[in-house]
Amino acid sequence: MSPEHTAMQFPRDPLAAVTHPDPYPYYASLVAERPFYRDEALGLWVASSAAAVTAVLTSDLCRVRPPAEPVPRALLGSPAGDIFGHLVRMNDGPGHCPFKQAVSATLDSVDRTQAAEQSKTSARILWDELEPAAEPRRLTEFAFGLPVFVVGSLLGVARDRLTETARWTGDFVRCLSPLSTPEQIEQSKTAAGHLLDLFRSLLAGQRTGGLLGTLAAEARRLGREDVDVIVANGIGFLSQSYEATAGLLGNTVLALISHPGAREQVTGDSDLLGHVVQEVLRYDPPVQNTRRFLAGSGELFGRQVKEGDAVLVVLAAANRDPAANPDPGRFEALRASRRHFTFGAGPHECPGEALAASIVEAGVRQLLASGLRVEDLARPPRYRVSGNARVPIW
C-alpha cells in the first residue's frame, strides 16, 4: 500500500469499502498489490483483479452458498426460508440449472420497447404519487419503489397492490443480508408470507399473460412444474431488482451531480443517458461484491484453498482494473469497449441487466423532466447500511 494513502483515507477493509465515501483508491491498491489474498481478520479470501474475479466466478470449486448451510439457519422453517431455498440465485447444481434457463428465457421475453414503456409509465405514476420534487428525501422511496412497480407490473401484480408489494419486498430483502437485526429478520419472514400469498393467487389466476405466467410456461417446457419453485423465483425477480436497481438510480444521479460534463451531455441529447448509466455501472456500481464458498480443497488463482473457505469477490474493484479498462479512474460516458463485472460472470451472471438499465433510464428521465435540477440536490450524506450494495440515501 503506498505511503500517501493513510488508514484515515482508506476504508478498514473491503466490507467497509462498500459504503465508504470513496473506496476506489483503496480498490486500485488491492488490484495492483493484492489481487487475491487471505484477509485473516475477516476470515475471507478477497479477489479484486479482473482475472481473479473471473477465476473465482467460473471455478468449479465455488458455490453460491456454504454447502453445509444452503438456507441460513435463522430462516429455516419460515416463509422467507421457503423462498430463499428455491431461488436460482441461492442454488447450484440441479436447483440452479435448468430453472435458470426458465428465468433467463422469461426475462428475455420482455423486449426493449415493452421494458421502456412499462418503465416510463411506472416512473410517472410513482413520481406523481411521491412528489419528490417537493421533498427531495422522497427520492429514496422513488428509487426503491420504481423497480418493484416496473417488475411487479410486468409480472402481473395489479396497480392497487404495488405499494404494499414494494413494502413487503423491502422487508423481505433484509433476510438476504448478514447485517440484519433479529427484528428485521422477523419482519422479513412476515413479508415473505404476504408475498407468497400474493404470488400463489397470481399464479393460480394467470395461466397465460404476465411474466409469472411466462415463467410457469417456461418451467413446464423444461419439465419443472413445481409451483413453489415458480412462485419463489417470481418473487426473486422483485428481490433481485430491489436494492441493486435503486442503487444504480441513485449512483446515476450522483454521477450527474459530480460530472457536469456528463450532465451537459445528457441535457443536450437525452439519448446519451443510456451511455451514462453504462459508465456508472462500471465506475460506481450498486453491487460492489458477491461471495463464493469452497465446496472442495484445491488451487484457486494460484493459491491453495480449503473446503469451507469463503471468498469475497470484489466486482467493483475489477471494474477499475486497468487490464479491463484503460484509464479506469476516468468517468467516460462514451468509453470504447467498456468491461464491467457488475452483473457477475459465469453460471450465475445476472439475467436482468437490460431491464435494470431500462428502469433506471426511465427513472432519471422522469426526474430530469420534472424540473428538479440534479445540481441542486445536496450530495447524500450516507449510504444504506450494507456489506455488498452501494445505495445512496437522500
Q: At its nearest, how many Å lie between ligand HEM and the CB of residue 144?
A: 12
DSSP 92-145: -GGGTTTHHHHHHHHHHTS-HHHHHHHHHHHHHHHHHHH-TTT-TTHHHHHHHH
Q: Closer CB to ligand HEM, residue 119 or residue 366? A: 119
Q: At its nearest, how many Å lie between ligand HEM and the CB of residue 348?
A: 3
Q: At its nearest, how many Å lie between ligand HEM and the CB of residue 229?
A: 13
Q: At its nearest, how many Å lie between ligand HEM and the CB of residue 48?
A: 15
Grid cell, residue 178, equals: 448478514
Q: Closer CB to ligand HEM, residue 10 or residue 56? A: 56
CA 23/CA 347 separation, integer angstroms: 28
Grid cell, residue 324, equals: 479491463
Q: Closer CB to ligand HEM, residue 85 or residue 351? A: 351
Q: Closer CB to ligand HEM, residue 10 or residue 314? A: 314
CB of 143 closer than 8 Å to CB of 249? yes
Report the amino acid identity of residue 319: N
What b-and-e string marks burial along 245-270, b requiring 16 or more CB atoms within 10 Å of the CB? bbbbbbbbbbbbbebeebbebbeeee
Cβ-proximal residue to ligand HEM, closest one: 352
Q: At its nearest, how many Å lie between ligand HEM and the CB of residue 135?
A: 25
Within a 10 A sphere around the Cβ of 346, how many other Cβ atoms?
14
State the burial class of residue 68 (Cβ atoms within 10 Å of its Cβ: 0-12, 13-18, 19+): exposed
Q: Closer CB to ligand HEM, residue 104 or residue 370? A: 104
Q: Which residues bind ligand HEM (CB under 6 A)?
A: 64, 88-89, 100, 103, 107, 151, 236-237, 240-241, 244-245, 248, 286-287, 290, 342-344, 348, 350-352, 355-356
Q: At its nearest, how many Å lie between ligand HEM and the CB of residue 42?
A: 18
Q: Closer CB to ligand HEM, residue 10 or residue 44? A: 44
